[in-house]
Structure 1
Amino acid sequence: MVDYPMEVVWAKILLPALVASGKMLLFGSLLGGFFGFLLAVSLFVTGQNGLRPNPRTYQVLSALVSSIRSFPFVVLIVAIIPVTRFVTSSSIGWVSALLPLTVASTPFFGRMFENSLKEVNPALIEAARSFGASNLQIIFRVVVPATLPSLISASVLGVIHMLGLSTIAGTMGAGGVGASALIYGYQSFNDTVMYLLVFIMFVIVMGIQAIGDRLYKSAS
């Protein structure tokens, strides 16, 4: 067992790990959420009861979502290493992890957001159409406001999902909490570091959920 002084644990292990994981969580969630929302709107619009139904387009997009979600994240990271190196000139570090994190989280966000958008009352859409609203106006002025609480809940689940993905990415060279727990905790047989990082992750998840619950109540 490798026993590190607490000041070393905090300054050299915990703080850098939290900063790296925080960056992956923030930017990964923003990218995954943005592209996921665009995907969700496309699925919603082209769906069977959508604004412009297009079964073929919907089936292609839905199959793509299901295919990417079926990939284990570790396998996905390895599979797109050539693309990651081409885009970021490296395959390690938190910046390089953003590409696989975005690829993996976009279908998750997309499916969650799609399910939220489907909760809108069809009567609201018909009323908006009767006033001559365009599809874009219907989406952003009717559907999104009507389903905002559900979209917030989906976002919270997506961010927590991203936290788990970023931890896995850490064990594959991205750094952060996952790497520190593996190297300084598990491989060094240091239970203190490992369980401290687990506790910190628990606190982060609870904090994200608490913020999400408050936003949900505000939007309801």
Structure 2
Amino acid sequence: MLDLDWNLLLEIDWVEIGGATLDTLTMLGVSMLFTVLAGLPLGVLLFISAPGQLRARPRLYAVLSFLVNVLRSLPFVILLIVLMPFTLLLVGTSIGVAGAIVPLVVGAVPFFARLVENVLREVDRGVIEASQSMGARLSHIVFKVLLPESLPGLIGAATVTAVALVGYTAMSGVIGGGGLGDLAIRYGYQRFQTEIMIVTVVLLLALVQGLQSAGDSLVRRCRFD
């Protein structure tokens, strides 16, 4: 049974809760930005270099695919620990919001890139071949055909990645990454303040629901515009 006193909800430091929420949103926003900036080109490269695709490069595809699979297979908690020296070298700290962003990006980029590759595979092959028959360059096919045609799917992939990143931000609390996960570990787990744990879980659930609803709305708008 949970040792829960609902009256203690009134005594919670809501300022600290607000600060932790802001830290989580910062980690999510910054890491998502870099994930899209790095993951989208990587996903496109995976697609066009795959055997039988626009610029088939089997060896390049095999190397990229292997690296993506390796990074995706590592549990995020282990990735956090493994990347601590690199994070320290890159941003000067391995804890806090800044220290969590690097492993968040490294963990999310291969995940998003693979989703992008799968989305691009769903583009009608006839549309691509029609562009090729008209002499379109590779850049034209990518930016004028592939990306516009797959936009709803790409938004869906970004939504799935953002939701996954919420979970990653919570796990970053294991190494003092800040945010709601760190608050839940320090107070909810280590100090047995179950009320704090419940509040952080509710906020994380609300964030996930908000992201999913916003993503679904954008997908519907793109499909019917």
TM-score, normalised relative to structure 1 = 0.95
Gaps of 5+ in 2: none
How much has 1:2 moved relative to structure 2? 11
Q: Please, which of 88, 91, 103 is the counterpart of residue 88 of structure 1? A: 91
Alignment of 1:189 with 2:192, yes or no, is yes
Matching residue of 2:172: 169
Are 1:11 and 2:18 matched, yes or no? Answer: no
Mapped contact 2:4–2:194 kept (Cα < 8 A): no
Between 54-63 and 79-88, the greater mean CA deviation after superposition: 79-88
Paired residue for 2:124? 121
- Distance across 1 between alignment mates of 2:4 and 2:126: 64
The correspondence for 1:137, drawn from 124, 137, 140, is: 140
Deviations 1:102-145 (A, max 9, x none): 11100000001110011111110111112221111101110111
Distance in 2, Cα, partners of 1:35 & 1:219 = 23
Name the CA shift for 1:188/1:2 in 2 (closer, same or farther; >3 Å).
farther
Which of 149, 154, 161 is the matching residue for 2:152? 149
The alignment's TM-score, normalised by the length of structure 2, stands at: 0.93
In the alignment, what sits opposite 1:31? Answer: 34
- Partner deviation per Cα, 1:47-79 (whole Å, 9 max, x = no partner): 123210011100100000000111111111111
For 2:202, give the aligned amino acid. Answer: F
Would you say the 8 A contact 1:2–1:189 is kept in 2? no
1:72 is aligned to 2:75: yes
The residue identity in structure 2 corresponding to 1:210 is S
Deviation digits for residues 139-198 of structure 1 (CA, Å, limit 9, x no counterpart): 111011111111111110000011111111122111100010111112221111111110
**In structure 1, what is the Cα distance between the partners aligned to 2:122 and 2:52?**
12
> Which AA in structure 2 matches 1:154?
A
Match of 1:62 in 2: 65
Shift in Å at residue 9 of structure 1? 2.0
Residue identity (%): 37
Asked if the contact 1:120–1:146 (Cα under 8 Å) also holds between the matched residues in 2, the reply is yes
Aligned-CA RMSD value: 1.6
State whether residues 84 and 94 of structure 2, in contact with CA within 8 Å, keep that contact through their aligned partners in structure 1: yes
User: Where does the alignment leave 5 or more consecutive residues of structure 1 unmatched?
Assistant: none
Q: Does structure 2 retain, via aligned residues, the 8 Å contact 1:109–1:155?
A: yes
2:214 is aligned with 1:211: yes
Cα distance between partner residues in 2 of 1:30 and 1:197: 24
Question: What does 1:39-58 correspond to in 2, within 5 Å?
Answer: 39-58=42-61
Describe the superposition over 1:18-69 as per-residue Cα deviations: whole angstroms up to 9, x where unpaired: 0110000001111112211111011011012321001110010000000011
